[in-house]
Amino acid sequence: MAKKCEEFISGLADYIDGEIEPELCEEIEKHIGQCNNCRIMVDSLRQTVRLCREGKEEKLPPALEEKLTGMLKKRWKEKFGQA
C-alpha cells in the first residue's frame, strides 16, 4: 500500500488537472477507491483551486479608479501631447 501511495503521488498534479495517460489515470482512480486518505487529498486539492477561482472577487476600488484616470491622462499627454 505504501508503494501505491507513492506511485499515486508522482502523478498527482497531472491527474487532478486531467493531463495524464488513460492507463495511469485508471490506476490512480482504483487507488483512490481503496484509499480514503488519498481520496480526501485529491478532493481537497481540487477544491483548493475551485475556491481560489470562486472566492472573494476583488474589483478595482472606485477611489483608485478615479486617481488612476487622472494619472493615466497626465502620462498620456506627456507621451502623445494630447489625451
CB-neighbour burial class of residue 2 (10 A; exposed 0-12, middle 13-18, buried 19+): exposed
Residue from 26, 29, 30, 76 in contact with another protein (CB under 8 A): 76
Nearest CA-CA partner of 29 in 39, 37, 14, 44: 39
What grid cell was written down for 52?
Answer: 481560489
Q: In the stretch 25-64, what mask flags binding to another protein with x, by CB under 8 A?
A: ---------xxxxx-xx-xxx-xxx-xxxxxxxxxxx--x
* Residues binding another protein (CB under 8 A): 1-2, 5-6, 9, 12-13, 34-38, 40-41, 43-45, 47-49, 51-61, 64-65, 67-69, 71-73, 75-76, 79-83
